Amino acid sequence: MNIGYKNLNGWTKADHDSVFEFADSYKEFLNSGKSEREIIVAALEIAKNEGFVPLSEKASLTPGDKVYELNRNKGLMLAVIGKQHLSKGFNLVGAHVDSPRLDAKQNPLYEDGGIAFMKTHYYGGIKKYQWTTIPLCLSGLIIKKDGTHIHVCLGGEDDDFCFTISDLLPHLAGEQMGKTLGNGIEGESLNVIFAGIPFVEDDKEDVKKAVLILLRDNYGIEEEDFLSAELEFAPAFKAKDVGLDRSFIGSYAQDDRVCSYAALQAILGITIPEKTAICLLVDKEEIGSMGVTGMQSRFFENSVAEMINLSGDYSELLLRRAVSNSVCLSADVCAAYDPNYASAFEKQNTPFAGCGICIMKYTGARGKSGSSDASAELMSAIVRIMNDADVCWQTGELGKVDGGGGGTIAQYTANLDMDTIDAGVPVISMHSPFETVSKLDLYETYRAYTAFYKSNIER
Ligand code: MN
Ligand code: MN
């Protein structure tokens, strides 16, 4: 009898064909958008094709109904109504669709040295040096004075051009190379090369004017339209298999689209669950879950209220009971052990790529600060579900003690009086322009969320 604990490499017993097939569809999902808006459109499209309809179109809800509620095109709730009344609680998997990137400033365009640039303000936690000298694309929304919406999507890998940010040549970088990694590239120097052919008038060259003419003639955009726009620069490259055996996927924005996709696919496979199954895709996690589209917004509670109302007997108390009796998997990525930076981790309590979904009791920083710290009762209940479904899972924490830290939406769902635990995919090079995950972990995370949706934890 084996009474010791050792986490297993999941590849040894996985169905490789299923793992690879799932990974292929995931790569398509990643490639279907860069911004949170584009990825929500892609997720909604997939859900609609599987029969999800707007909550507002329903006169009543019965078990098995598939409904959705869109949050300002940046967030999405999908629900499959369960046999039990919502006030008995639901099973929620919550992931986020926003990712670190470079937002264009509100007044972004200028010219210097014969080049037109776009000024940016980075969004989320980035290592700035990673964002220079890579191909970038631009996506977002410009609303013209007459109210016309222009969805911008320029410079992606299928286009014959892209954008980029310069870095200093090593020959002249003596001073820069003496700086720390953190301040070698200044935030204010993350200016994107946007155009270079001048408009010539009275022997004067004007590249910015040429850009404005181009924007006006091709897109009907004026400079003032930038002031209200949301424009995001992201890495232009597509998702790709990594490794000779194609065991990994490399891509921008896998934090947290890898958990978002696993949660999405899991709920699509649910027919009539015991408890209502909910997949929630939120925005703004990378900057603190703020705002109307973040997890701290009332959007989610309001959507649950609408569902209770359509179940026939709304009251404030039933809403509170529904939330209070529910369980939430905070579906977010964690840091996989990286042998290149071994000293950042404590190997006995760190998730490994290829060892399955990581169930994390707590996140946080410096003494678990900012963590919701799930209970032993909840952790063991989730572990039982994983073991019963033969899911390959592991546990761990975010790096070594006092090495840094981070948080997820867990603290905000827990604040609603909902039992919450973190469970997601380990990532290598998190928050970089090209993050790496194991296909095995993606697939086991999908299986884990599926098992959770089918479960019935009594509080
Ligand atoms: Mn995340
Ligand atoms: Mn993140």
Strand segments, DSSP code E, in 6-157 are: 53-54, 66-71, 75-80, 90-96, 101-112, 115-123, 136-143, 149-154
pLDDT (0 to 100) of residue 1? 63
What percent of the chain shows pLDDT beyond 70? Answer: 100
Strand segments, DSSP code E, in 161-246 are: 164-165, 192-195, 199-201, 204-206, 230-235, 240-242
From the CA of 321, how far away is ligand 2's center (Å)?
Answer: 31
Ligand nearest to C-alpha 99:
2
pLDDT (0 to 100) of residue 370? 87
User: Are residues 125 and 61 part of one domain?
Assistant: no
Say if 414 falls within a structural domain: yes
- Convert the pLDDT of each residue in 303-323 to its tens digit: 999 999 999 889 999 999 999
pLDDT (0 to 100) of residue 224? 97
User: Are residues 272 and 386 part of one domain?
Assistant: yes
Say if 139 falls within a structural domain: yes
User: Are residues 150 and 82 part of one domain?
Assistant: no
Question: Tokens 């920083």, residue?
Answer: 365
Once rounded to an integer, what is the mean pLDDT over residues 47-57?
98
pLDDT (0 to 100) of residue 3? 87
Residue 128: pLDDT band (50, 70, 90) is very high
Say if 130 falls within a structural domain: yes
pLDDT (0 to 100) of residue 439? 98
Q: What share of the chain is helix, strand, coil (3-state, %, to 5)?
A: 35, 25, 40
Residue 24: pLDDT band (50, 70, 90) is very high
Contact 54, 60 (CB under 8 A): no
pLDDT of residue 459 exceeding 80, the answer is: no
pTM given for the model: 0.97
Residue 6: pLDDT band (50, 70, 90) is confident
User: Are residues 434 and 311 part of one domain?
Assistant: yes
Say if 459 falls within a structural domain: no
8: Cβ contacts below 8 Å, ≥ 6 apart: 355, 356, 392
Report d(CA 365, CA 340) in Å as an integer. Answer: 22
Report d(CA 77, CA 84) in Å as an integer. Answer: 19
Ligand nearest to C-alpha 257:
1
| Range in 2-6, 309-313, 361-365 the model is least confident about | 2-6
Report d(CA 189, CA 197) in Å as an integer. Answer: 22
Mark 372-392 as b/e (b = at least 16 C-beta within 10 Å): bbbeeebbebbeebbeeeebb
Report d(CA 58, CA 295) in Å as an integer. Answer: 25
Average model confidence (pLDDT) for the chain? 96
Q: CA-CA distances (angstroms) from residue 86 to 51, 206, 278, 330?
A: 21, 62, 11, 20
Domain carrying residue 127: 101-235
**What type of residue sits at position 454?**
K
pLDDT (0 to 100) of residue 193? 98
If one counts the domains in the chain, the total is 2
pLDDT (0 to 100) of residue 4? 87
Ligand nearest to C-alpha 256:
1
User: Are residues 95 and 127 part of one domain?
Assistant: no
User: Are residues 258 and 228 part of one domain?
Assistant: no
From the CA of 333, how far away is ligand 1's center (Å)?
Answer: 5
- Give the domain-ending residue among 235, 262, 290: 235
Say if 15 falls within a structural domain: yes
Report d(CA 386, CA 321) in Å as an integer. Answer: 26
- Convert the pLDDT of each residue in 254-265 to its tens digit: 999 999 999 999
- Smallest Cα–Cα separation from 334: which of 435, 429, 439, 424? 424
- Convert the pLDDT of each residue in 59-83 to its tens digit: 999 999 999 999 999 999 999 999 9
Say if 247 falls within a structural domain: no
Residue 130: pLDDT band (50, 70, 90) is very high
Say if 389 falls within a structural domain: yes
Ligand nearest to C-alpha 286:
2
- Taking ligand 1, which is a single-atom ion, which protein residues have CB atoms under 5 Å away? 255-256, 332
Q: What is the DSSP string of 260-324?
A: HHHHHHHHHT-SS-SSEEEEEEES-GGGTS-STTSTTSTHHHHHHHHHHHHTT---HHHHHHHHH
User: Are residues 298 and 190 part of one domain?
Assistant: no
User: Are residues 258 and 198 part of one domain?
Assistant: no
User: Are residues 168 and 191 part of one domain?
Assistant: yes
pLDDT (0 to 100) of residue 7? 85
Say if 2 falls within a structural domain: no
Residue 369 DSSP label: B
User: Are residues 267 and 415 part of one domain?
Assistant: yes
**Separation of CA 402 from chain center:** 25
From the CA of 56, how far away is ligand 1's center (Å)?
Answer: 30
Residue 157: pLDDT band (50, 70, 90) is confident
CATH classification of the domain holding 152: 2.30.250.10
From the CA of 296, how far away is ligand 2's center (Å)?
Answer: 16
From the CA of 459, how far away is ligand 2's center (Å)?
Answer: 30
- Convert the pLDDT of each residue in 166-210 to its tens digit: 999 999 999 999 999 999 999 999 999 999 999 999 999 999 999
User: Are residues 159 and 39 part of one domain?
Assistant: no
CATH classification of the domain holding 278: 3.40.630.10
- Is 432 strand, coil or helix? coil
User: Are residues 132 and 113 part of one domain?
Assistant: yes
Residue 409: pLDDT band (50, 70, 90) is very high
